[in-house]
Structure 1
Amino acid sequence: MTGHDVPHAPEHVVAVDVGGSGARLLAVPVPDGAGPADDTASTPVSLTGRPVRITATGSDAADVVAELVDALARRRPGLRVAAAAVSVTGLPSLVPDPGALHAVLRDAGARSTAVAADALAAHLGALGGRAGAVAAVGTGAIVLATDLRRRWHRADGWGHLLGDLGSGSWIGAHGLRAAVATHDGRPGPASPTLLAAALERFGPVEGWPAALYGRPDRAHVLASFTPAVADAAAAGDLVAHGILHDAGTHLAESLAAALRPGIPPLAAVTGGVLQIGEPVATPLRARLRALRPDVRLVDADGTPLDGALRLARSLADPHDGDLVEPHDTWLTVRATTHPSPAPAGKEIRP
């Protein structure tokens, strides 16, 4: 994308958030005082894309980002990109080399690019650049506690087979397990409500293994059952309510585990699971208070997309380039050109 066909078109910063439930892109003009205020080329562009897929070779996040930047080029021909940042799930375990993502952004014309783990983007969005801990809870769940400089501590984020406790995929999976237990007639609390909801969504129980086990988007499919668990809990289903209570407890325990010495006792939680409300939030607050009474739990300022946008703006503005130190695991930054020297301590990879 170049600006040759759009005279006086402002440069934009581009933020992309790629996750297990979908992807979003936001392109925002960089204020420069040029052009009329009502110029179409000066308005932000917002796009949505598909969820990331996990295959035997890893994540296809680079393909998701390529699809979105292609859609941006069609929507806004001639758009110039000063800087771009991607928040991506699965970094670094399922996206071992962020180079492909940098290449996609560079092909879109971005002079400076950043590829951040979704946990870091969630942190920057939720705490607005402050040090502390953030639990990012969507399809998966991960907690990152950091001072954004030298201290980096992680809890969970190990995927739906090994962890992601309290996440959408965890809640959905436990809802389906409860439905299967009810179907089998096993001893213990039964949930006809969850069984009925699962049968309506997935068909006969005998077909569930084949429908789930071989899917590359299995975590997303499991998370898609979370609203049914929330609805059942709201209707008084004790099994569903117990699942949500345990989800909140797990999230609090992950926050407490990540908040190591040297990290301010400040925390926030962000992500779609929090939309369930008090059935998750109440046990989360209670367990965190019991484990770490010194921690101040605050409302999230913004989303991972907001965090990616903050990163992109810091790259475009040389006076705001020290938002966060690059890190082999959490953030890589690259620049094809840089008119002014990089801020002290800023790693710019050619």
Structure 2
Amino acid sequence: MTRVVGVDLGKTACRVAVRDDDGVRTGEAPGAPGLASPDGVARALASVLAALGAATGAATPTGLGAVGVGAAGALAAPDDAARLAAGLAAAVRAPVAVTSDATVAHAGVFGGRAGTVVAVGTGTVLVTLDDAGTFRTLDGWGPWLGDDGSGSWLGRAGLRAVLSAAEGRGEPTALTERARVWGGEPAALPGLVAASDAPARTLASFAPEVLVAARDGDAVARAVVAAGVRAVADACSHAAAPYALLGGIATAEPYASALRDALGSGRVVTPDPAPPDDSRIEPALQGALLLATDPTTPYERTVSRRDPV
């Protein structure tokens, strides 16, 4: 069996699965800030090759049959997705298919059936396919104009609450001490975020502190989480049920339980993995493996395919 590669390229991490006759091997490397970011394509390519090297033990693997990539930002930047496909195809000498990370997640969870993947991690995007076969996305607009309820959104809201409390305009909050440990005194926080080469990822790194504070009963943190959940639930109201919750925020407590309650527990599902891929790997990687070799799925209009030249 020819080796087939699936890639889930997010802003925080890049995960790879390589499937062949011996089973599935996985690898991981740091993610990339998004295809439309400065040097986004080059950084994405470097991230994919690093994760692929971790999975195969080769700096530039050869003998690959096909590669499927789900990359953060691909739907909003199709030209950059095409450039990534061409660059990766040239690097590994194999056909490459690139679409968004949320699209491969939908393919892995639903396998072309109706439903919505609600991916809430560093960013937020909903990928929905209805009973009529209409495929579309909601949000996914990035941290400055969208990504409502995401990790970067929660982190920003939490840090703003810290600054507001420091000025005496906002309520005292346990987030203040957590922010001090995370990044320093309140006055230093704006500069810390501004100096980052990936501000959304930096903001999202504070989101776990918001979730823990909310779980521990801090009223300000609980209000931040509740507002994030409302934003995502509102987006879901415009998408097809059932819903599959994916991503580090959507599956973390207390966010996950609150979102399930808002959507109605009977409408949140975990469908069987899309065959024939290994059920031990995460849905996004299963979807990437599927799209690497199958150009007939309902997702094809979102896919950029390139052959090596």
TM-score by length of 2: 0.85
For the pair 1:308 / 2:283, whether they are aligned, the reply is no
| 2:82–2:305 CA contact under 8 A, matched in 1 | no
| 1:113–1:335 CA contact under 8 A, matched in 2 | yes
Root mean square deviation, CA, Å: 2.7
The SS at the match of 2:7 is strand
Q: Which residue of 1 aligns with 2:27?
A: 47
The SS at the match of 1:233 is helix
Q: Give 1:26 shift.
A: 1.3
Aligned with 2:267 (options 256, 275, 296):
296
| 2:126–2:139 CA contact under 8 A, matched in 1 | yes
Aligned CA distance change for structure 1 residues 198 and 128 (closer, same or farther; 3 Å): same
CA distance in 2, matches of 1:267, 1:53: 26
Question: How do residues 95-244 of structure 1 correspond to structure 2 at under 5 angstroms?
Answer: 96-109=79-92, 111-147=94-130, 151-187=134-170, 189-191=171-173, 193-244=174-225
Q: Deviations 1:303-326 (Å, cap 9, x if unpaired)? A: 3222212222xx1xxxx6523342
Question: How do residues 2-17 of structure 1 correspond to structure 2 at under 5 angstroms?
Answer: 10-17=1-8
The SS at the match of 2:48 is helix
Q: Which residue of 2 aligns with 1:324?
A: 298
| 2:7–2:48 CA contact under 8 A, matched in 1 | yes
Q: Which residue of 2 aligns with 1:283?
A: 258
Q: Which residue of 1 aligns with 2:11?
A: 20
| 1:326–1:333 CA contact under 8 A, matched in 2 | no
Q: Give 1:57 shift.
A: 5.2
For the pair 1:267 / 2:243, whether they are aligned, the reply is yes
CA distance in 1, matches of 2:213, 2:247: 21
The SS at the match of 2:103 is helix
| Letter of the structure 2 residue corresponding to residue 81 of structure 1 | L
CA distance in 2, matches of 1:17, 1:26: 9
Q: Give 1:101 shift.
A: 2.0
CA distance in 2, matches of 1:167, 1:175: 12
For the pair 1:61 / 2:61, whether they are aligned, the reply is no
CA distance in 2, matches of 1:97, 1:12: 26
Aligned CA distance change for structure 1 residues 148 and 140 (closer, same or farther; 3 Å): farther
Aligned CA distance change for structure 1 residues 73 and 280 (closer, same or farther; 3 Å): closer
TM-score by length of 1: 0.76
CA distance in 2, matches of 1:76, 1:162: 37
Q: Which residue of 1 aligns with 2:277?
A: none
Q: Give 1:153 shift.
A: 2.4
Q: Which residue of 1 aligns with 2:65?
A: 82
Q: Deviations 1:281-310 (Å, cap 9, x if unpaired)? A: 343234334xxx9x8321365432222122
Q: Deviations 1:87-136 (Å, cap 9, x if unpaired)? A: 10011335633233223432354543210111211211232332221111
Q: What runs of 5+ residues in structure 2 fail to find an aligned partner?
A: 274-281
Q: Give 1:70 shift.
A: 4.7
Q: Please say which structure displays the higher CA radius of gyration.
A: 1
Identity %: 31
CA distance in 2, matches of 1:49, 1:78: 15
